[in-house]
């Protein structure tokens, strides 16, 4: 674990040593609350409609009205309740510090939809931006501090993945609102075109060095097999496809098959979990065992892929797999599910180039999207009025120039395929702490403590607790 521990954190260690350590976390109940948020925070001209109803999940079970902090989860791409159910570390901190827990739903997701059913019409999605989202959070938290009778009450933000990026951006843009933040698995740095799937391959190799070799062989056999009509039929049967595979549907099939490894690597948790699908403990290990146990490389690859989709898509080993329903091609090569909102965000702001080359990774060659490919895709799907402003995004949110940042924890699991976009190194401000979570997949440290966690994950959470205590009690 790499972490800068200053004198202030060591003092917190002495004060809270008896409160750290592993416990079995529980998911707290929540109260659903609503507030009105402006659709456009940055234009003084009143529009119609001007506001939308934004959902919040709240728990005050442990809250000390006099001195308790506000613990804010910066909601990301999805309904906020799914993040509530998978972020138990915040609840542990609420009990520890007598905090007010609030998870705010990201605009345009879940039940917080500006313009209602008309949000996709007439460029109504133009307000689906990072700037607008964190402005929602800043305004809501500012109001909350006032309503709780203490405008100076401490606020700690939390987020995982894109939500972690938002936590970092909250601290960058609104340090007057947020006193510190834990940005878990937050790829704020641009990743190279092939980094993501290189990381997935490394995860498989870490478990068994023969696994990536077998997967490469499986894809080689697959691409040789589909050169004939009988070969296409064979692959259709091996992968239990609902529709006959054709040369035309082959590119989408390859994305579908690759996506199985994407999700398994992200959710490579030490226990069964349903956050990204119903997966067993350490699903990468499970997949490698299945691949290596096949009669040949192609059948092993097919067995592992079908095993994943059986569990996460149909729930039945007897049904076939519909590629068009189980994997939706979108501007994020790692998958959008059925969320048009995330597809639009990729077009507007959040570029995530990710391809495979069969050299640094084990997958068939699939080129990462270039700016011109993005522009063509987004214009065709959403109209030529969309414009991606690279310069503004980089300037507005600092990208790799975070030397002026403070009070942020950037944690990255060494099993997480997003790790190459995370913050590492020692050339950072004194209160920006990079933590490598050994044995951790996608923001595992934000999940609640579990007796099946590796000791290294428990240790990472303990360090995070101490840093947060420093921000809360020692005023830095």
- Which residues are catalytically annotated? 161, 416, 442
Contact (Cβ atoms closer than 8 angstroms) between residue 84 and residue 29:
no
| DSSP symbols for 389-401 | -HHHHHHHT-TT-
CB atoms near residue 237 (< 10 Å):
11
Most distant CA pair in the chain, distance: 73
* Helix 283-292 and helix 195-207, axial crossing angle in degrees, nearest 10: 70
Q: How far is CA 258 from CA 91, 300, 313, 359, in A?
A: 35, 14, 15, 15
Contact (Cβ atoms closer than 8 angstroms) between residue 374 and residue 333:
no
The count of C-alpha atoms lying within 13 angstroms of the C-alpha of 383, restricted to the half-sphere facing its C-beta, is 9
Beta bridge partners of 409: 182, 433
Query: Which has the closest alpha carbon to 472: 5, 60, 69, 19?
Result: 69
Contact (Cβ atoms closer than 8 angstroms) between residue 149 and residue 116:
no
Rounded CA separation 107/142 (Å): 18
């Amino acid at each position: 674990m790499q972490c800068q521990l200053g004198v202030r954190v060591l003092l917190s260690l002495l004060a809270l040593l008896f409160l750290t350590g592993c416990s079995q976390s529980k998911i707290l109940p929540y109260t659903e609350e609503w507030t009105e948020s402006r659709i456009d925070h940055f234009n003084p001209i009143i529009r119609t409609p001007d506001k939308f109803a934004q959902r919040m999940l709240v728990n005050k079970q442990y809250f000390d009205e006099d001195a308790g902090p506000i613990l804010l989860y910066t909601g990301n791409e999805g309904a906020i309740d799914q993040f509530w159910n998978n972020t138990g570390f915040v609840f542990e901190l609420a009990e520890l510090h007598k905090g007010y827990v609030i998870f705010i739903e990201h605009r345009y997701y879940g039940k917080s939809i500006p313009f209602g059913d008309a949000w996709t019409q007439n460029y109504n999605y133009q307000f689906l931006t990072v700037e607008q989202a964190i402005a929602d959070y800043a305004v809501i938290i500012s109001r909350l501090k006032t309503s709780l009778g203490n405008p100076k009450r401490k606020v700690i933000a939390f987020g995982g993945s894109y939500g972690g990026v938002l936590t970092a951006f909250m601290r960058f843009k609104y340090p007057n609102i947020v006193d510190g933040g834990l940005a878990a698995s937050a790829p704020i740095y641009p990743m190279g075109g092939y980094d993501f799937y290189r990381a997935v391959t490394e995860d498989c190799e870490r478990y068994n060095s023969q696994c990536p070799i077998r997967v490469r062989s499986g894809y080689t056999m697959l691409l040789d097999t589909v050169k004939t009509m009988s070969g296409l039929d064979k692959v259709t049967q091996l992968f239990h496809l609902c529709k006959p595979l054709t040369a035309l549907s082959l590119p989408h099939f390859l994305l579908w098959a690759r996506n199985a490894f994407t999700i398994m690597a992200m959710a490579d948790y030490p226990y069964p979990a349903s956050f990204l699908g119903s997966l067993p403990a350490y699903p990468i290990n499970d997949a490698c065992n299945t691949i290596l146990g096949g009669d040949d490389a192609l059948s092993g690859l097919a067995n592992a892929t079908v095993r994943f989709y059986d569990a996460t898509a149909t729930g039945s080993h007897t049904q076939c797999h519909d590629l068009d329903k189980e994997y939706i091609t979108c501007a994020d090569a790692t998958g959008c599910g059925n969320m048009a909102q995330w597809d639009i965000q990729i077009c507007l702001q959040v570029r995530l180039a990710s391809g495979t080359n069969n050299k640094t990774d084990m997958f068939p060659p699939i080129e990462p999207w270039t700016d011109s490919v993005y522009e063509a895709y987004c214009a065709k799907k959403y109209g030529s009025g969309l414009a991606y402003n690279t310069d503004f995004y980089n300037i507005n949110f600092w990208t790799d120039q975070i030397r002026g940042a403070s009070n942020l924890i950037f944690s990255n699991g060494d099993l997480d395929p997003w790790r190459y976009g995370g913050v590492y190194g020692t050339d950072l401000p004194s209160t920006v702490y990079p933590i490598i979570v050994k044995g951790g997949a996608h923001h595992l440290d934000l999940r609640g403590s579990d007796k099946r966690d590796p000791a290294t994950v428990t240790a990472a959470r303990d360090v995070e607790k101490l840093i947060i205590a420093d921000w809360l009690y020692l005023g830095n």
